[in-house]
Structure 1
Amino acid sequence: MKKIAAPIPFAGSQIDQPRHVCAFFNSPDEEYRVLLPFIKDGFQCGHKAIHIVDRDKRQDHLQRLTAAGIDTAVAEQSGQLEIRTDTDVYLPEGRFDADRMISAFEQLVSDDGTGGFPLRRICCRMDWAVESGSHVDDVIEFESRVNEVWLRHEDAVICTYDLGKFGADAIIDILRTHPMVVIGGILHKNAFFVPPDEFLREFRERRSRRSGSPGVA
């Protein structure tokens, strides 16, 4: 049976159940201003930090963590900090596979305190979806489907999106796939969230009409 962990403070509120959050930002500085207190609190709580970053921004990310007072060398050596690149995680061999990603996240999350870390705090930068080709529709489907994983686990995942890189229609659908949302630097329960079964049925019908191909059940 899934245990119920205490809410996690984040962006002026608390992350409750399920802990799948989309966060919209206008700049990296705004993003780190919101994320760093959450990241630092995780280290103080003994949680594992898993950060998926742009392949070209790993050093910048480490420098920002260090400037915030986090000893990244010690944290990486102990296993408390794990930094992965977006292309390695999401696009091995240059291809996005939602089924593979669902399995990967299922393996990534914790439910029994293995490895000495009671919870994982996962931060995923999602700009790769528009920068590495047209993966946006596939990612939106994945973001809806992966809610089934977070319903079974206590770990918190923050998916960050640059508002300047995604179109308005994509942003609306991304919003509808996350139970909680950060807008203007503040965390809110998401009144626009649509459960996966309902969202995926509607979204796949729209994709099918655009492509002129039969819908997928």
Structure 2
Amino acid sequence: MDPETTTREEPNPEGVPESSRILSEFRSQELCRHLALFYDSREMQLVVSAAFAKHELQRGRRFLYLYEDNDEADVRLALGMADIDVETRFADGDLKLEDAADVYLNGQFDPDSMIQSLDDATGAALDAGYNGLSVAGENTWCFHTSLSFDHIIDFESQFDAHAPELPITTLCQYSLDRFDQESIGKALWTHEQIVYRGRICENPFYVPPSEFRESEPSQSEARLMLEQARSLSQARRDLDIREQRIEVLNRTLRHNIRNETNIVLGHLEGVLESDRLTEAERRRIEIAREYVEKISRTSEKARYVEATLTDDELEPIDLGAVVSTSVEQLRRKFPAVDVTTSVTDSPTVLADRNLREGVDELLENAVRHQDRSPPVVTVSLDRREGDRAVVLEVSNPGEPIPEDDKRALRTGEETPLQHGRGIGLWMVKWIAENSHGRLTFPAAETGSRVRIELPLGAVTDHSPDPA
């Protein structure tokens, strides 16, 4: 099969990345030893290849460019446009340009001989004091061989398997105008990373060499495969960035705010010990202390939110023991509270390890969001076969959770008109969902009711490890 298409579109430079931007792509990624560039235009090809050359030269590699579709002069110009001192690099032996057909074919294509040549060139680079060898090759040379494209793909896989510790990095270049869809699809099987539309992507279609010869990778429309790879790469990056930001925000909440509020509380306590305060002054300071304590509690909740977001491992938890421990803690914090418990079943469930913190939050909310003195709280736990759920419910005679707050929790986002009371209920919601359950707000004629519902499938016969 001839991998070259019968028609060739005019180059389309639209969307060509700036040299500095694609260079930052190479710098921000840990490159594998075998990449493929898929390009629509020569401008895209040369900009990316030159940025790759600059990156590899800067990390102490000898660089070899194998041209075939482009003239040597065009390649030199592109390297110069990337701020590479071409003449000096040539004179010092850092940079070499060679005709790809001469290197790969040399009369006929011999994969073993080609791999040995790359071995020798890498060894020579190491002997000359470089950190290794990097190669960018224009793969249009394969149109000048009588072998089928499958033989070329076999060579690509052989290269992957050969001497994986050898310090060599290659960028194979595939024109989307010159290679047909089937050939592009096959090329995707043999490159762990790809460069497409200015983005370095982990390739979900890559087939490791150990599996390549024994498998028949499924074929798909090549453009769709490339777009999927790019979309997945972008999704992974977005997720990584979001996790980094969450980590920074939570670290700030946990450490900076907690430490600084402790200092403020210490000073306020010292001022309150003074017998020179008027009643009005004392009340104002007590109000300030109350709000600082709220900020401190928020920073503590952030620790559990971070754990919920970053650790989805479940563990066996005795729900009856959780209720008992949480109620005891509530009575210590609010000695006047009137707590009624009803535990008809005490199953052990596989749940988020922070489940107790979620129950603590519901109990404390039940006390804080009511005007009754002494505060009244009811806690129940039972297994409801009809609902196929284990239900833990906390209720109080105070005002129900506002509809705006419940709507925000239900839709998963806050707006200026729908702002929850801090992060407490969000924490409970995420803990419940991590436990494959849900947070619900049953209707009540009076007062407030909040539930954590866990599926009966979460019940386990395993007992939790003793504390």
Which bracket does the TM-score occupy, shorter chain normalised?
0.7 to 0.9
Q: 1:51 corresponds to which residue? A: 65
Mean Cα deviation higher: 120-129 or 110-119 = 110-119
Q: Which residue of 2 aligns with 1:170?
A: 183
2:128 to 115, 118, 121: 115
Q: Work out the CA distance in 2 between the residues paired with 1:199 and 1:116.
A: 35
Q: In the alignment, what sits opposite 1:99?
A: 112
Match of 2:29 in 1: 14
Instruction: Give the secondary structure class of the aligned counterpart of 2:201.
Output: strand
Give the alignment partner of residue 40 of structure 1, picking from 48, 54, 66. 54
CA 1:11/1:118 → structure 2, altered by over 3 Å: closer, same or farther?
closer
Structure 2 vs 1, CA of residues 72 and 150 (structure 1 numbering), >3 Å: closer, same or farther? farther
Residues 101-148 of structure 1, C-alpha deviations (whole Å, 9 max, x = no match): 121122222599320211222111101112555542221110011002
Corresponding residue to 1:186 among 191, 196, 199: 199
When the two structures are superposed, what TM-score results if normalisation uses the length of structure 1?
Answer: 0.79
Range with bigger deviation, 100-109 or 126-135: 126-135
Instruction: Tell me which of the two structures has the higher relative contact order, counting C-alpha pairs closer than 8 angstroms and 6 or more residues apart.
Output: 1
Please tell me the residue identity of whatever aligns with 1:36.
A
Greater Cα offset, 124-133 or 19-28: 124-133
Give CA deviations for 1:43-74 in whole Å, capped at 9, x if unaligned.
Answer: 33332111111176112111221233222222
Letter of the 2:55 counterpart:
D
User: Bigger radius of gyration, 1 or 2?
Assistant: 2
Q: CA deviation at 1:158?
A: 0.6
C-alpha deviation, 1:24, in angstroms: 0.3
Q: Distance in 2 between matches of 1:32 and 1:83?
A: 14
Which residue does the alignment assign to 1:146? 159
> d(CA) in 1 for partners of 2:171 and 2:69?
18
Deviation of 1:10 after TM superposition, in Å, equals 4.1
CA distance change for structure 1 residues 134 and 32 in 2, over 3 Å: closer, same or farther? same
Task: Verify: 1:158 aligned to 2:171, yes or no.
Answer: yes
Alignment of 1:66-81 (within 5 A): 66-81=80-95
Residue 237 of structure 2 is aligned to residue 201 of structure 1: no
Hey, what's the Cα distance between the residues in 2 that align with 1:150 and 1:24?
25
Are the equivalent residues in 2 in contact too, given 1:177–1:194 (CA < 8 A)?
Answer: yes
The amino acid of 2:149's aligned partner reads V
Q: Which runs of 5+ in 2 are unaligned?
A: 1-22, 217-467
TM-score, with length taken from structure 2? 0.39
Distance 2:97 2:70 in 1: 12
Larger mean CA deviation between 67-76 and 109-118 belongs to: 109-118
> What 5-or-longer segments of structure 1 have no aligned partner?
1-7, 204-217
The AA in structure 2 aligned to 1:42 is E
CA deviation digits over 1:135-168, x for unaligned, max 9?
4222111001100236122321110110111111
For 1:25 and 1:84, locate their aligned partners in 2 and report how far apart those are by CA, in whole Å: 21
Compute the RMSD of aligned alpha carbons.
Answer: 2.4
- Residues 111 and 154 of structure 1 are in contact (CA less than 8 Å); yes or no, is this contact kept in structure 2? no
Cross-structure match for 2:75: 61
Match of 2:18 in 1: none
Runs of 4+ displaced beyond 3 Å: 8-13, 110-113, 131-135
Shift of 1:76: 1.2
State the 1:176 CA deviation: 0.4
Question: CA-to-partner distance for each residue in 1:58-97, whole Å, 9 max, x for gaps?
Answer: 121112212332222221111100111111111101x111
- Indicate if the aligned counterparts of 2:62 and 2:125 stay in contact, CA closer than 8 A: no
Separation of aligned partners in 1, 2:198 and 2:163: 23
> Matched residue pairs, number?
194
User: Aligned with 1:151: secondary structure?
Assistant: coil
- Quick one: structure 1 residues 150 and 187, their matched pair in 2 at CA, closer, same or farther if it must change by over 3 Å? farther
Query: What secondary structure is seen at the aligned counterpart in 2 of 1:82?
Result: strand
- In 2: Cα distance, 1:56 partner to 1:116 partner: 30
Residue type of the alignment partner of 1:15:
E
Separation in 1, partners of 2:56, 2:179: 29
